[in-house]
Amino acid sequence: MVELERSLMSRLREGEWVPALASMDQEDFLGVAEALERLQALEPLLGCWCLARKDLMARPLELLLRHGFAQSVARSPGALAYIASGQFLSRAEASFPLLLLAERPFLEALLRCQRWELTEPQVLQLLGEDALMPLTQLPSLKSALRQRRFSAEVGRALEPFPRLLEDLLDAWFGDDAEVRPEDLAAWARCARFRRSALPRHLARLSFQGLGRFVAAGAGDAGDAGESGEAEAREVLQVKRDEVYQSLFRATPLVAAPWFRDAGVMHLLWQKQVMAWYHVTGVLSCLIFRPCLALPRLWAKESTGLPRTLRDQLGIEAMYVLDALSSVRTLNIFFLKLGKCLLLRILTRVPFRT
C-alpha cells in the first residue's frame, strides 16, 4: 500500500495533470482540492504543479485563494515562488482581488518579485489598498509602471503619492511621447499634470487637435482651472501673438493653418477658450496681410535677405491663399455667431462676449 501511494504521488507530481486541472469546472476542481487536502497532499503537489506548468497554474491558484485554501497555498514553497515570479499576477483575471495577497507570506513573496505585468484594474487595487502600500516602494514595480501609460483614472489614484506620480508623468509624457488630444483632456483633471506636461503637449497640437482637446472634456469639469482651459487659452494667446507680430515680416505665416477651420473656431468660442473679438482680430490680420506686400518687400531689401523674386512671389501667393481661406472662415464663423445670437435673443438668454 505504501509503495502504491508513493507511485501515485510520483505520477501526480508530473505536470501532465495540470492541463486537465486548469480546464475543470470550478466545482469539480474545488472537489479535487478538498480531497487532496484531506490526504495532506495538496501542498506538495501544488508546489510541483506551479513549478512544472507556470503557464497554466494561474486559474487553479486563483480558485484556491478565493475559496478558502489560502493556508495551503501559503505553506507551499513552490506556490509562493510562483507568486514571487510575477507570472501569477500577469495571468490572473483582471478582477482578481489583490487584497487576498496582503497576508504576510504572500506579501513577502510579492516584495521579492522582479517582474510585473499588471493590468489597469490591478494597479488601481494596489494603489487603493493600505495593506498593499509597501509594494509601491519597490523599484521593480516603479520600473514596470514607467513602461506603460495608463488612463487618467490611475493618475487620480496616484495623487496621494506625489513623488511617484511626478516620476511616472515624466516617463509617460516625455518630449517624444505621442498623446491623443482626448487623452490630454482626460489627464487635464490632474493638477500636477496640468502644471508639468499639459502646456508642452498643447503647444504641439494642431488647431484641429486643440479643438478635439476642448471638445473632449475642457469645460465639462465646471472649473476651467481644473479642465485645462486656462492652458489652452495660453497656447492660443501665443499663436495670436505670432499672427500679430508677423504682419510686417517677410516670412511665411506658420500660424495661418490654426485659423482656417470655422467649425473649430466656433467650438473654441462656445467653450469660452477664445472670445469673438480674438477670432475676428486674428482673421482680419490674415485677410489684410496681402495688402502689406510692399512694406514686406522693403523690409527684405533693408535687411538684405537672400531671396529671389520667384521665391518672394511664391510667398506672397501663400499670403493670398491664407487671406482667401480666412475670408471664408470669417464668413462661416459670423454665420454661426449670428445663429447663436438669434437663438439667445429668442430664448432670452443673456449674450456673453
pLDDT of residue 205: 82
Q: Which residue has the higher pLDDT, 201 or 230?
A: 201
Average pLDDT over the chain reads: 77
The pLDDT, as a whole number, for residue 165 is: 92
| Closest to 89 (Cα-Cα) out of 68, 115, 127, 111 | 115
> What does the pLDDT read at residue 316?
62
Residue 341 shares a structural domain with residue 192: yes
Domain tally, the chain: 3
Summarize pLDDT for 236-285 with one digit per residue, the tens.
Answer: 777 666 666 665 555 555 555 556 666 777 777 777 777 777 777 776 76
- Segments forming the whole domain that contains residue 123: 118-176
**Measured distance CA(323)–CA(338) in Å, rounded:** 22
Short-list 200, 345, 325, CA closest to 265: 325
Does residue 4 share a domain with residue 130?
no
- Compute the Cα dihedral for 40, 46, 121, 117 and give only its sign: positive
Assess whether 226 and 338 both reside in one domain: yes
Going 244 to 245 to 250 to 251, the CA torsion angle's sign is negative
Of the candidates 115, 141, 158, which is a domain's last residue?
115
Same domain? For 57 and 186 the reply is no
Q: Are residues 194 and 325 in the same domain?
A: yes
Q: Which of 47, 53, 62 is nearest to 17 (CA)?
A: 53
Instruction: Return all residues near 182 (Cβ < 8 A) that are at least 6 apart.
Output: 212, 213, 216, 217
Residues 155 and 87 in one domain: no
Based on the fold, state whether residues 59 and 124 are members of the same structural domain.
no
Say whether both 82 and 138 belong to one domain. no
d(CA 220, CA 226): 10
Long-range contacts made by residues 28-31, C-beta under 8 angstroms, separation at least 24?
29/60, 29/63, 30/63, 30/67
* 153 shares a domain with 42: no
The string of pLDDT tens digits covering residues 153-185 is: 999 899 888 899 999 999 999 888 888 988 988
Q: State the pLDDT confidence band at 1, using cuts at 50, 70 and 90.
A: very low
User: By CB neighbour count within 10 A (0-12 exposed, 13-18 middle, 19+ buried), where does 162 fall?
Assistant: exposed
Let me know whether 87 and 145 are in one domain: no
Instruction: Please indicate, yes or no, whether residues 218 and 293 belong to a single structural domain of this protein.
Output: yes
Same domain, 3 and 134: no
pLDDT tens digits, one per residue of 126-147: 898 888 888 888 999 999 999 9
